[in-house]
Amino acid sequence: MILFLLFLVRKHYTSLKNLPPGPQPWPIIGNMHQMAKNPHIAAANFAKKYGPLISLRLGTRLLVVASSPDAAMEILKTQDRYLSGRSIPDALQQSFIDYYFVWARDCNKHWKSCRTLCWAELFSAKAIEAQSTLQNEKLARMLDFLNNTQGTVVKIEELIFTTLINTLSNILFSKDFLDLKDDETAHRLKFGLLKILENSVTPNVSDFFPIVGGLDLQGLRKDSLNHLDELSSFSDAVVKERRAQITKKVHVAVHEKDFLDRLLENNFTTAQINILVLELFIAGTDTVVTAIEWAMAELLKNQNIMHKVQAELKRELSYDSIMKSDLSKLTYFNACIKETLRLHPVVPVLIPRRALKACEVMNFTIPQNAQLWVNVWAISHDPKVWEDPNTFKPERFLGSNINFTGHDYEFLPFGGGRRMCPGLPSAVKSLQTILASLILVYDWTLPNDEDPKTLDMSEKFGVTLQKEKPLQLIFSRKK
């Protein structure tokens, strides 16, 4: 299959006159392994030679990659209206293609309906305040679990994942989906979500040549559908039960109206609900888990920075006040979070956009249906933009007005424009609260007295940029 893809790239590469320059075919082929494993790094290297906007022809697909703040601004702001479509990977093109929210092909009626509902019920300041008691309850349960596992090795990513899934499932359905003690079910759910994401970014001949898409030669679409069916089993029973209660008009008010009630009131079908829930679970868990794991790894490796953070948290907070405090006022703590998201952008390449119509970007014509990548990783590692970009240095954000909001194009951890992550306020709140609690309440050590300075920081590319080797820690409560 790899040899076949190499042939396709070489045979169908073209250089268009009105497009930005791109690398010649043989450099691509020579670096195909890097392109497949670390496309964000390969694209960043191409940008150094060919400029901040490059074009590649892969089969019938034209890909334009932006690797500078100026190019990102033109795509996400200046031409946002015309470049706000999506190219849905063949692996995700099932019979419910019109039900996507994050992956919606354009900002259509369904997308607008989902965005309005999600903002009102999940992500507005009022909604987040209403969720605070529930979030604090789930966080307290996680900390109690850690209290009972002192001295044993904990896979921190799976623990945080379970906590976030249960928080979300209660907001959406008023029930827990997972048990902190049930590693197997949590792992199965996490594996399914990540596998769907992995399939969406795996080089797929069906994406390069849609004419053979129906054959699903690599089996990615079938595999994604199998995982989706399994994941839908977590919500199908709840939806069916709620519909039956509504039909019989015996809906017992054991809870205030949750997100599922709102979706049913707006006539969402079960398939639409399952797809939206899948996207919310992915967006609301994987990004936060990944960011926290990278932050913890960096603080472990940089003990001097850890001590500064601990001192600030101890000075400004107590354990009982963490969940009630405005953590955004902790300057050094938040500088560490920003630096983590700069050095390890959770989404290294923003979910690809599609040109809804031809438009101009940096004096080049982007044809209709071209796919656009904004290479956040390249921007955040560019020495022209950031001094000493490969070093974890939170001080660079002290006294800076750069924020998460998508208006600073040198720092885009949550994207920008109309396709910016709608869950930004909720994600930042969860990230701050969980990380502050773990720092303030516990001391962390690596298994077998491993030296934190030797911690493996290798990355694993995907829709999210994960640690290749998951972080395992031993927690002991501070005295």
Q: Is 107 annotated as a binding residue?
A: no
Structure tokens at 270: 């079960």
Structure tokens at 137: 């309850």
Cα 288 from Cα 342, distance rounded (Å): 14
Alpha-carbon Rg for the chain, nearest whole angstrom, is 23
**CB count in 10 Å sphere of residue 411:** 24
Binding residue ranges for heme? 421
Binding residue ranges? 421
